Amino acid sequence: MKTLRWAYDQAWLVLIVTTMLWGGNGVASRLAVGRVTPMSLVFIRWLAVCTMLAIALHRPIRAHWPEIYANRWRILLMAGFGFTGFTVLFYASAYWTTAVNITLLQASIPPMVIGFSVVLRGLKPTMQQLVGMAITLVGVAIIATKGAPLQIFETRFNFGDILVLIACVFYAGYTLALRDRPPLPQLVFFASLAFAALVTSTPFMIGEVALGKFHWPTTQGWLVLIFVALGPSLASQLLFMRGVELIGPNRAGLFSNLVPIFGALFAVALLGEEFHLYHAIALALTLAGIWLAEQRAG
């Protein structure tokens, strides 16, 4: 029992840090506008991560190469959808839809994870999980609609919204796949995913250059890239995998609802945006919903 309690406590810590980094990534994306192009932001950060991992893990990667090669297509698919595909679609959607829609639609990831678990694995979520998830969705709706959650019924979906939904499907599938990932050491597995993400992001980088959309990052753009590479691309992914190992994809996926909350708080601190009462209400609801969903049934 003590071991199980410790696992849940550790999962809370690693997943909250993970969502803080992902929330910071949203602010970094706004800071990147005009300073680093979207596809180069995707490509260069994975290039940086792969360089660091190649230096630090070249021996264990070589030692486990037979297992990596045996699972090459699975690794390529997980990275292509969960890392590259999600990010590319997320950035592209901003050209057609609003920030409110993007924030709201990210909350669809936990229900998708649970839905995939039910359909593909026959798992049954508890009533507490469902109620907790509903509470977190209310919190996200409050912050996304600036304290007027009923505005959600006035939301119109467009091409950008569809891109976000597809991106969320990608990451929900990646989250579920982590449950039965190849039997590799965590760092070696992540290194394999990182190199696969670099491979799958290369065509998008080539396309950006070919279309004349690429320009070299400015000094501030390089600072954004450094943060994105070390935080959201490296540390957060390792922590998220650890969280899934500790408490499973259903519970771990629920924490993604904290991303817009932390993103808003960071925007206040770093971008000078205003803090309102609905921010505090949404944060309280989201934390309460996660806490409820984390409690063991019966």
Written as six digits, the tokens of 252 are: 């771990």
Q: What does the pLDDT read at residue 146?
A: 65
Integer Cα distance of 151 and 146 in angstroms: 9
Residue 124 in 3-state DSSP?
coil
Q: What does the pLDDT read at residue 99?
A: 59
Number of H helices, E strands in the chain: 14, 0
Q: What does the pLDDT read at residue 118?
A: 77
Distances (CA, A) of 176 to 121, 162, 170, 173: 10, 21, 10, 5
Distances (CA, A) of 241 to 6, 78, 85: 17, 13, 18
Written as six digits, the tokens of 159 are: 């091409």
Q: What does the pLDDT read at residue 29?
A: 74
Integer Cα distance of 59 and 227 in angstroms: 26
Q: Classify residue 272 by burial, with Cβ atoms within 10 Å: 0-12, 13-18, 19+.
A: exposed
DSSP state of 145: T
Written as six digits, the tokens of 68 are: 């990596």
Q: What does the pLDDT read at residue 206?
A: 96
Find where tokens 């910071």 sit. 24
Torsion angles phi and psi, residue 289, rounded to 5: -65, -40
For the chain, the domains span: 11-294
Could you tell me which of 166, 147, 144, 163 has the C-alpha nearest to residue 155?
144
Integer Cα distance of 100 and 104 in angstroms: 6
List Cβ neighbours of 262 (8 Å cut-off, separation of 6 or more).
Answer: 19, 20, 22, 23, 24
What is the full per-residue pLDDT of the chain (298 aa) written as tens digits?
555 555 556 778 888 888 888 888 777 777 777 888 889 988 998 999 999 999 989 999 999 999 999 999 999 999 999 989 988 887 777 667 665 566 666 767 777 787 788 778 777 777 877 787 788 778 777 766 667 666 666 656 678 778 888 988 898 899 888 888 888 888 899 999 999 999 999 999 999 999 998 989 999 999 989 998 899 888 888 888 888 878 777 677 777 777 777 877 777 777 776 677 777 787 778 777 777 766 654 3
